[in-house]
A and B are shown apart, each in its own frame.
Chain A
Amino acid sequence: MSGAVWETVIGLEVHVQLLTRTKMFCACSTTYGDPPNTNVCPVCLGLPGALPVPNAEAVRLAVRAAFALGCTVNERSVFARKNYFYPDLPKGYQISQYDEPLATGGSLEIVSPERGVLTVGITRLHLEEDAGKSFHDRFPGLTAVDLNRSGVPLIEIVSEPDLRSPAEARAYLTALKQVLRWLGVSDCNMEEGSLRVDANLSVRRPGAPLGTRTEVKNMNSFSGVERALTFERGRQIALVEGGGAVEQRTMTFDAAKGEVRPMRSKEESHDYRYFPEPDLPPLVLRPAWLANEQLSLPELPAARRLRFEQQYGLSTVEASVVAATAAVADHYEALVVLLGDGAGKEAWNWEANDVLTHSEDGEAIPPRLTPARIAEVVALVRGNTVSRQAAKKILAEMVAGDEGASAIAQRLGLVQVQDAGAIEQWVREVIEASPAEVARYRGGETKLLGFFTGQVMKRSKGKADPKAVNVALTSALKGLRA
């Protein structure tokens, strides 16, 4: 079988848009979706005489990403021009970094569906500017160009060819996205183009030297990456098994047809004529500043997940749920603090079953569900004022309004009856109304306690505290038997 005798080798080049307010080399806004060609100026339009000035915040975010990926950040890096002609590239070159990038030699821990936890090497991370966007389908026979994106800051993250399957490639992207979002470096929104992936894939017999690779572009989602690479792997294996040879070239993924095919030759194999960007001096970062950026990095997802397991007694899966994003993890930990020592698991139950269930995407927590307000609800449950079921109703109300937990409980009539006299009255009524069941209970059918409890709760219209009911019932039935 092919899968057993062929090894797939994949390396990814990921372009990520940095979450800056302004562009890489000018003060224009980076807002997505504004009317075409409104966020532009002489610099990002490439007008004659305009010059680039680097965005310090973009540099800072790139440095943080590099540190988070364990890279060595170079104190001196050099911007370079990548030259090619294209209608949406206003200067005829893109300012990037080439042989002296911002950072090199890092790694990212991922969970491979086939091989478990493994470390993927990061070759390099560099800064660059984006090109504009061409639209070939808006006006018949014409190409429209929007330069709002021209000059938007990007980092390119190049992995080592350490991935061995399309599913692993996807796992790498998931882990990378989590880290970058965690740091606030990027929103990694593939639909808006703020994360783009090019993949290099080759196949070989295990232990053999690397095969000839192809580069696959135009994959628009993580699942698309997996589908495209699965197709390309199959194509290459079929080719080689049929006695053919893989040709090194650039391929494009057609998501509609689910297939990968060669790009037209004029769209590939540029000689980019890289040379150092003479309009920008080398980017020199002071060691003290770099050290400060490194020290001020937040605890990263993998580390936090591990700490949650150890500190709060969570399983790996449980910890992953509440360490999905920095915001969820912060929310969870704040709740733990409010619920007190040893409440890690209890807080997890609330976070996973009562808070994240109100999140539309499993990440964004409704703003009204603050840890403090959730703690109010927990206190009501702990004091037997409301039931666990009633707590869910209260939380649902809290998402929509600012009313306090107790007030909601009162308004919805969810407060449990604790009054011993009332409960004993209902217990007496139930025992009198159920002589047959009492006889069977006395005959040893103690599981009928549940039946009696249900009857009492019914008489109380669900308001009796089930625990108090149980105590009263047990003692009343025991009295009868004696």
Chain B
Amino acid sequence: MTDASAAARATAARVKACEDRGLHAFYEWSEEAMLAQVAHAHGDGPLAGQGVAIKANIADAHHATSCGSRILEGWRSPFEATAVRRLRQAGAFIAGKTVCDEFAMGSSTEHSAFGPARNPFDRERVPGGSSGGSAVAVAAGAVDFALGSETGGSVRQPAAFCGVVGIKPTYGRVSRYGLVAFGSSLDQIGMFGRDVRSAALLLSAVSGRDERDATTLDRVPLPEPGPAPTSLKGTVIGRPREYFPDGLHPGVRAACDRALARLRDLGAEVRDVSLPHTRYAIPTYYIIAPAEASSNLARYDGVRYGARQDAPDVRALFRQTRGHGFGAEVRRRILLGTYVLSAGYYDAYYRSAQRARARIAKDFADVFASGVHALFTPTTPTPAFRFGENTADPLAMYLADIFTATANLALIPALSLPIGRDGGLPIGGQLLGPHEGEQTMIRVAQALEAATEATAEVR
């Protein structure tokens, strides 16, 4: 048995152990698919022999790309995502496809058409979403690396809920080619790792310009992460007051206060700052993302591929295919997006949202221009919630993204790392960097991570 096939078998055993715990991190995985891939894998590369779990909305050659939807159930893409190709070139193989909210719309995986994933810290609680399965796969030890995707916090929020690290790169840092679109101007592939270094290594492997995605930045791949700095002297960390509202969950607030204290202990200056347009983030996000989604999901009409409901005429075929194929949350967002783009409503909603988006981005640009190197905030307003807790109230579910959607709107990089526990549940702290400022953000995260682990608070 070669080293590569040994690695594949070992990964298969770890995935099986994860799934045997009833965590349902994966829609599809198999030892055979892993062995088939390593049979012609590159021997070296920074991810040699590593199994990477990928979200079910990222196309690869060995598994279905269902996006957690009935309408794409069993869909096997004839091409693979650029990020997947780069993983293979770095020596990795795809361990399997992970559970997510349908078309990445949700914050809990409860909108998966094929059942949710479960939080390994408490199986009665959600893992977060939409990339919940990828977060669980890493948290439960099935894999050391996983890809998810973000439109409004869908990597950072589950990373926070599951006690792992999640990175949302600068928009355009990683190719979206092969990532099934939700909100194209917000979508970005994100990375999960057990620690900051793993997630950053994964980012460096998949980053860089791709001629197949016209929105990628014209940049070479990011370098691999260096060692954790032992001091943050000279680094200015902003603490935006809008992210620490009066009603913030006390356990989350306490963990953030301890993290800020550690940043000061490391020599960083912590400065109170303001991002005054933050309050517009959720309404802005819930106009732009559904608007783009209503257009992006128009292609699932039953004509060429995916599920089809036959009907006497083509209009009925469209209606019935889409009515049956999409779940309630996806239908809700398509309707919302169609409405805000309609003649007579465009200016009031979509155009206003674009203006608000520009203000939100300017808030960040102004703060970073004032000498702040990174911002620190909680990743989520609460720790992981229970199944069913927010399903009856879409607005409550949408507010789970309140601290994360801003980075997607502003196109800037952001990262969530574990900063403590509350009642046995992980708490995530968020670092946000300026546009293209991943490397500073990652160095600060590495330093904070090392200081946090020294206290054994997250173990």
Residues on A facing B (Cβ under 8 Å)? 42, 45-54, 81, 83, 85, 87, 90-93, 143, 145, 266, 271, 273-275, 278-281
Residues of A within 8 A of B292 (CB): 275, 278
Among B176, B177, B211, B295, contact of A275 (Cβ-Cβ < 8 Å): B295
B81 pairs with A51, CB closer than 8 A: no
A145 to B212: give the CA distance in the assembly, Å. 26
User: From residue 285 to 329 of chain B, which have CB atoms closer than 8 A to chain A?
Assistant: 291-292, 294-295, 297-299, 301, 303-305, 314-315, 318
A365 to B314: give the CA distance in the assembly, Å. 49
Given contacts A143-B314, A273-B338, A275-B350, contact A48 B77 (CB under 8 A): yes
Of B32-40, B226-234, B341-349, B359-367, the segment with at least 4 beta carbons within 8 Å of chain A is: B341-349
Nearest to B79 among chain A residues (CB) is A42
> When A and B form their complex, which 6 residue pairs have the shortest distance between CB atoms, in order from nearest?
A92-B298, A278-B185, A278-B184, A273-B341, A48-B180, A49-B178
B304 pairs with A85, CB closer than 8 A: no
Query: Number of contacting residues on B, CB 8 A?
Result: 45
A54 to B215: give the CA distance in the assembly, Å. 11
A51 pairs with B177, CB closer than 8 A: yes
Determine the main DSSP class of A at the interface with B.
loop
Residues of B within 8 A of A47 (CB): 77-79, 305
| A–B pairs, 23, beta carbons within 8 Å | A46-B299, A47-B79, A48-B75, A48-B181, A49-B77, A49-B79, A49-B179, A50-B177, A51-B176, A83-B295, A83-B298, A85-B301, A90-B299, A92-B298, A266-B315, A273-B295, A273-B342, A273-B343, A273-B346, A275-B291, A278-B215, A280-B214, A281-B214
* Residue B67 lies at the interface, judged by CB distance under 8 Å to chain A: yes
* Residue B53 lies at the interface, judged by CB distance under 8 Å to chain A: no
Given contacts A273-B338, A278-B185, A279-B184, contact A51 B213 (CB under 8 A): yes
Whole-angstrom distance from the CB of B286 to the nearest CB of chain A? Answer: 16
A48 pairs with B65, CB closer than 8 A: yes
- A/B pair count, beta carbons within 8 Å: 103
A90 to B302: give the CA distance in the assembly, Å. 10
A266 to B291: give the CA distance in the assembly, Å. 24
A49 to B75: give the CA distance in the assembly, Å. 12
Q: A49-B176, A273-B338 are in contact. List 13 more A-B contacts (CB 8 A).
A: A48-B65, A49-B180, A51-B212, A53-B214, A83-B294, A83-B295, A85-B318, A87-B303, A90-B304, A92-B299, A271-B342, A275-B350, A278-B215
Given contacts A145-B303, A273-B341, contact A48 B295 (CB under 8 A): no
Residues of B within 8 A of A279 (CB): 181, 184, 214-215
Residues of B within 8 A of A50 (CB): 79, 177-178
Residues of B within 8 A of A54 (CB): 214
A51 pairs with B314, CB closer than 8 A: no
Given contacts A85-B318, A273-B342, contact A48 B214 (CB under 8 A): no
* Residue B205 lies at the interface, judged by CB distance under 8 Å to chain A: no
A91 to B57: give the CA distance in the assembly, Å. 17
For B205-245 the 0/1 string (1 means CB < 8 A from A) is 00000011111000000000000000000000000000000
Among B72, B215, B291, B314, contact of A48 (Cβ-Cβ < 8 Å): B72
Whole-angstrom distance from the CB of A398 to the nearest CB of chain B? Answer: 50
